[in-house]
Each structure stands twice: as C-alpha cells, then as structure tokens.
Amino acid sequence: MRNTMRNTTNPSVAPAGIEPGVPFHDLAQWATKAPEGEKLISTAYRDKVTEDLRFVENVPGVHKPDPILVADNVTRRFGGMTAVDVTHFEIERHGITALIGPNGAGKTTFFNLLTGFDTPDTGSWQFDGKDMAHAQPEKAARMGMVRTFQLTKVMSRLTVLDNMLLGAPVQPGEGMFRALFPATWRKQEKANVEKAEALLERFLLIKKKDDYAGSLSGGQRKLLEMARALMSDPQLVMLDEPMAGVNPALKQSLLDHILALREEGTTVLFVEHDMNMVRHIADWVTVMAEGAIVAEGQPKTVMDDPAVVDAYLGAHANIDLGDDSVLDDPGETAETTETAGTPEIEGPSGTAAVAETAKIAKTSGIDAKEASR
Ligand SMILES: Nc1ncnc2c1ncn2[C@@H]1O[C@H](COP(=O)(O)OP(=O)(O)OP(=O)(O)O)[C@@H](O)[C@H]1O
C-alpha cells in the first residue's frame, strides 16, 4: 500500500505522533498536530479502498472485500406503502459510500433504521460483525456508528461547546462514577472539553465556542453537527444530506472534512442530492428507488449509466454531472439558505428543549438531564 502522508514544508518528516503507514485514529490530536498553515495529506485509505473495490461487480447487493456493515432483508412499511425493501447491502470499510436516489426513495428511512431511530418490520444487520438490528441510537453510537440529520439537530439554546460535549462518549455508570471518583470524573470532563475544542479548531468554529448554537449559519450548524459526531471517535459516520442548505463557500470545507475522515480511517456513508459532490468524493455509489437498491458501483459507471440517470436520478441528474465548476462558483445561490452571521435564536425551549436535548443526547448515550444542564 502506498502511503503519501506528508508534511508540506518538509516532506521527509511526518509530524510527531504520526507514523507513515500506521493509521492515526486520535481525531482530537490529529486536529492539533498539523503545524500552522500546513495540511496533513494521506491517500493511504483512498488507495486501499480503490484497490479493494476495483474488481467488485457493479450489481445491486454485491459482496465487498471488507464490509464494515452488512444488512439483509430490511423492510419498513408505512400503512400500505413499502418505504424500504433492501435485500442485501454492504458498506466497504474505510470507504466513502454515497446513497443516492430520487425524493421518497427511502434513503432517510433506511438511515433511521440502521441507526436505531426507527424499527424495521423485518431484517437484520451487523456492524463490524455485531448484530445491530435491535440496537437503540445510543448503543449504535457507543459501538461506533453515528449519524447527522438532514435538518440539523444542534441545540440552539446551548453554546457551541456544550453542543459538542453532548457528543462525548458516556462513562459506564456515570452517576455513581461521578459521586465516588470526583477527581477522575473531572479529569474525564477536562479531556472532553479539550477534545471538543480541538475539533472546533479543526472545523473553524473555535471562535464561536461560547456563542449560542442558534446564532450559527446553516452551514456552520452542519459543521457543528459533523464535529459533534466525531466526539465519540466513530468508525462509521452517516451523513444525511450534508450539503443541503450550505453555501458554496462552506461546501468545499465540508468536502475537505469528509475526505479527511477517510484518511483517518473512518468509514463514511452519505445521502446526497448534490451529484457534483457525489462524483467528487465517493468511492462507491449506491442507488435507491422505491425502497430498494437498484444499482451500485464505481461512481463513474453508475452516474454515467443512462438508465440510472433517466430512471433514478431524474430531476437531480442535470444539476452538475460533469460540471466541476459548481463547487467553486460563488454565484451559485440556488441551494444557499444559510444566513451567515445572522442570529436566529429559535428552536426548542422549556420542556420541548429538554425533550429535544434528550433525543440528541440519546445518540451518544448521554444522560439527558446532564445534557440539558
Ligand atoms: N413516518 C412516516 N410515516 C409515513 N410515511 C413515511 C414516514 N417516513 C417516511 N415516509 C414515506 O416513506 C417514503 C420514503 O421516505 P424517505 O424520507 O425515506 O425518502 P428519501 O429517499 O430520504 O427522500 P428525500 O430524498 O426527499 O429525503 C416516502 O414516500 C415518505 O413519504
């Protein structure tokens, strides 16, 4: 495997703590290791995934060489309508997999099922070899599987830093642990704050850490939600429409963060309608329509397939297939719904806030009362 991790000022010297060829999993440290003005660039995982997927057949439900998630016969019906009917689905470890398809194809419902936010009528799936079919969101998060939402679920009336701390992994028996070992608990809390700050630094939100999350723009909320998802050092991050509502300036930043995740060894599954993004960063594309997986394969093969374009991408196909300039075009405003710098303290309050906080806290297994303090 070729390793091209390099230090941009002195290519022969990797930053301290980063060994060539050795995956570097400590995200918080990663965020602080790159010297000022430099980027760590590695293609080790991209190379591995490209190699692994090179000879995989482009057929729905195909087996992959090193799957981190394997799902079988997952169905979900709403009344008489079948929203999800997936016979077999695998996600290649360390890869970036895009899940695409027309509106109403069942992508979000499938996400909800896999992460324990909804219950299937039938089906089973294993994450890293462990059965997950009945796992609640907090258990899924503890096991290394976290997600973000199409409409961000940041807590408007909590500070940016407190939102980050909601994503910190829970300590087993936290209440008693805290009472019996206050010093150890304080040490853990300090470590969580340090990790949160390092991630905020990396996601360019550190200056906002004491601001209410409600004052962030739409794009910044997406960044915050992604940063919060990383607090538990997940192995698999599932992003539901990360680009929706993000202005072009922040799109590039989001793309870079997703690419960086792969190079740290994190597996990414994302739902997206922005075909330009899919084509730029996906190692593998899976197409859903009417609840089923109807095509999957190498991005180029799938996205250039006229049958897929006509039948499944529909209205989204003409946006930017083949048009690289969309990412850089500052004049593109069609998807820009964010209002950078405009305070918009809305969102949950009172009991609604507590309920909402509890829901988010559950994804990381946090005690809800603690989260809403
Ligand atoms: N809670 C629900 N009750 C009833 N029907 C639902 C529910 N959630 C989803 N559906 C239906 O299930 C189908 C799949 O919806 P889903 O949101 O999963 O599609 P999607 O592919 O994510 O769409 P989009 O790209 O627009 O987000 C749709 O017909 C939707 O109306």
Q: What is the 3-state secondary structure (H, E, C) of 322-340?
A: CCHHHHCCCCCCCCCCCCC
Protein residue with its CA nearest to atom 30 in ligand 1: 104
12 lines ligand 1 (CB under 6 A): no
d(CA 215, CA 139): 31
Q: Which of 136, 115, 148 is nearest to 230 (CA)?
A: 148
The tokens of 84 are what? 């999800």
**Ligand 1 mean position, distance from CA 180 (Å):** 47
* Distance between start and end Cα atoms, the chain: 48
71 lines ligand 1 (CB under 6 A): no
- The mean pLDDT of 333-349, rounded to a whole number, is 32
pLDDT at residue 295 in the model? 92
Instruction: Please enumerate in sequence order all residues whose Cβ is within 8 A of that of 114, keeping only pairs 6 or more positions apart, or say none.
Output: 69, 71, 74, 125, 132, 140, 145, 238
The tokens of 2 are what? 């070729």
228 Cα distance to chain centroid: 10
Which residue carries 């960063």 as its tokens?
A: 281
Q: Tens digits of per-residue pLDDT, 177-187?
A: 556 656 666 77
125-148 exposure pattern, b = at least 16 Cβ within 10 A, e = fewer:
bebbeeebbebebbebbbbbbbbb
Q: Tens digits of per-residue pLDDT, 274-291?
A: 888 888 899 999 999 999
Confidence at 149, pLDDT banded by 50, 70, 90: confident
Which segments of 116-156 does DSSP mark as H helices, in order?
Answer: 137-143
d(CA 213, CA 224): 9
Q: For residue 323, is pLDDT > 90?
A: no
Q: Which of 298, 325, 303 is nearest to 316 (CA)?
A: 303
pLDDT at residue 145 in the model? 92
Instruction: Please enumerate in sequence order all residues whose Cβ is within 8 A of that of 27, keeping only pairs 6 or more positions apart, or say none.
Output: 195, 198, 199, 230, 233, 264
Test site for ligand 1: of 84, 108, 290, most ligand atoms within 8 A of the Cβ: 108
d(CA 344, CA 339): 9
Which segments of 100-217 does DSSP mark as H helices, in order?
Answer: 107-114, 137-143, 160-165, 174-180, 182-202
- The mean pLDDT of 350-372, rounded to a whole number, is 38
Q: For residue 254, is pLDDT > 90?
A: no
Q: Lowest-pLDDT range, 131-145, 192-206, 226-240, 299-313? A: 299-313
Confidence at 175, pLDDT banded by 50, 70, 90: low
Q: Which of 193, 195, 174 is nearest to 184 (CA)?
A: 174
Test site for ligand 1: of 81, 85, 99, 109, most ligand atoms within 8 A of the Cβ: 109
d(CA 20, CA 56): 28
83 lines ligand 1 (CB under 6 A): yes
Q: Is 137 helix (H, G, I), strand (E, B) or coil?
A: helix
Protein residue with its CA nearest to atom 25 in ligand 1: 103
How many residues in total does the chain contain? 373
d(CA 270, CA 240): 6
Phi, psi (deg, nearest 5) at residue 284? -150, 140
